[in-house]
Copies of this chain bind each other. A is one copy, B any other.
Amino acid sequence: MNQISRFARATREVRVALLALLLWVPAAFAQTDPLPSWNDGATKKAITDFVTRVTAQGGADFVPTEQRIATFDNDGTLWTEQPYYFQLAFAFDRVKEMAPQHPEWKTKQPFKALLDKDMKALGASGEKGLLQIVAATHTGMTTDAFAKEMLDWMATARHPRFDRPYNSLVYQPMLELLAYLRANGFKTFIVSGGGIEFMRPWVEKAYGIPPEQVVGSSGVVKFEFGSDGKPELMKLAKVEFIDDGPGKPVGINRFIGRRPIFAFGNSDGDLQMLQWTTAGPGARFAGIVHHTDAEREYAYDRQSKIGKLDKALDEAKAKGWTLVDMKHDWKKVFAFEP
């Protein structure tokens, strides 16, 4: 090879490499659908149009990165909540597991009803009974011990219908939406009525949302020194904060301190979060997952005891919020085929 060809080839190679480098990033984005599990249509377009608008530098609706706060309900919005909240399944399973250490439960309601599988008596114990079960299974231990129990349960328990670990029942389209928002500079938060200590141990792996971006209901926790002389945080049987309904904007204000510009829910418990989000100035997005797919997941709304969607459904229609029709808008529901 002579001098000229060598230089020519070297130059060409470097140029090609540089060009490839320059082209790669935009090309990679342009060619990939960020929401592959969403069917094309008005819902998907509402989402991508909003994100395009608020991220267009110099555009009328541009929002600086630090203000791109997106909040998501968890139960029924990011994962399944039927036949009952998974945290309740955890509490019920824990009662059965703890029963040998609590012989008094054989005669004491609501524990007796639960252990006897007497669903009628359990139902009759009402909210008071439920709180007793939650207190017995969620308090009187350190935060570290609770996190361990929670993760042990998640690793072994199975959903009654799908016969899979509960944390595999996360919605694939919503995982894509979370990743799409983060790729566009959004900070994604969970704002759930569920227990904050129940969610934190597993949501980072499941959703890519770190513990410090999880807002939820909580009980009082006390700092003390354990028998080993080490400091510990003890979970007390006292409710501290209920992050549901009007509690959601309150929780958002307390934990995040900024108003979201994007929020997603699925029930009347999310109504005030959506109202609070959309009442701010500038471009705003409110989305609701409407469970319309009894075949692949569940179908329920106005009459459901779990995840009732009634007032928020009316308001969504009146205000033009984005309603996700699970059956028609989602190509797939879970990462697996049910």
Q: Kindly identify which residue among B14, B223, B258 contacts A276, using a CB–CB cutoff of 8 Å.
A: B223
Distance in angstroms from A267 CB to nearest chain B CB is 17
Given known contacts A272-B223, A276-B223, A256 and B212 CB-to-CB distance under 8 angstroms: yes
How far apart are the CA atoms of A233 and B252 in the complex, in Å? 11
Assess whether A11 is interfacial by the CB under 8 Å rule. Answer: yes
Residue of A4, A212, A257, A258 with most partner-chain B CB within 10 A: A257
The answer on a CB contact under 8 Å between B218 and A233 is no
One digit per residue, 1 when the CB lies within 8 angstroms of any chain B CB and 0 when it does not, for chain A 252-267 equals: 0111111000000000
Q: How large is the interface on A (under 10, 10 to 19, 20 to 34, 35 or more residues)?
A: 35 or more
Residue of A210, A223, A230 with most partner-chain B CB within 10 A: A223
Distance in angstroms from A178 CB to nearest chain B CB is 16
One digit per residue, 1 when the CB lies within 8 angstroms of any chain B CB and 0 when it does not, for chain A 1-24 equals: 001100110110011001000000
The answer on a CB contact under 8 Å between A221 and B253 is yes
One digit per residue, 1 when the CB lies within 8 angstroms of any chain B CB and 0 when it does not, for chain A 198-221 equals: 001000100000111110001001
Assess whether A196 is interfacial by the CB under 8 Å rule. Answer: yes
Given known contacts A4-B4, A18-B14, A222 and B250 CB-to-CB distance under 8 angstroms: yes
User: Which DSSP category, helix, strand, loop or mixed, fits chain A's interface?
Assistant: helix
Assess whether A66 is interfacial by the CB under 8 Å rule. Answer: yes
Distance in angstroms from A255 CB to nearest chain B CB is 6
Q: Can you pick out 22 interface pairs between chain A and chain B where the beta carbons lie within 8 Å of each other? A: A7-B7, A7-B10, A10-B11, A11-B14, A14-B14, A14-B15, A14-B18, A66-B204, A189-B212, A210-B258, A211-B257, A211-B258, A212-B212, A212-B256, A212-B257, A214-B257, A222-B246, A223-B246, A223-B249, A231-B272, A231-B276, A233-B250
Given A10-B11, A196-B254, A222-B246; 19 other pairs, CB 8 A cutoff: A7-B10, A14-B15, A189-B212, A196-B257, A212-B212, A212-B213, A212-B255, A212-B258, A221-B250, A221-B253, A221-B254, A222-B250, A223-B247, A223-B250, A223-B272, A231-B275, A233-B250, A233-B276, A255-B255
Residues on A lying within 8 angstroms of B by beta carbon are 3-4, 7-8, 10-11, 14-15, 18, 66, 69, 143, 187, 189, 196, 200, 204, 210-214, 218, 221-224, 230-231, 233, 246-247, 249-250, 253-258, 272, 275-276, 279
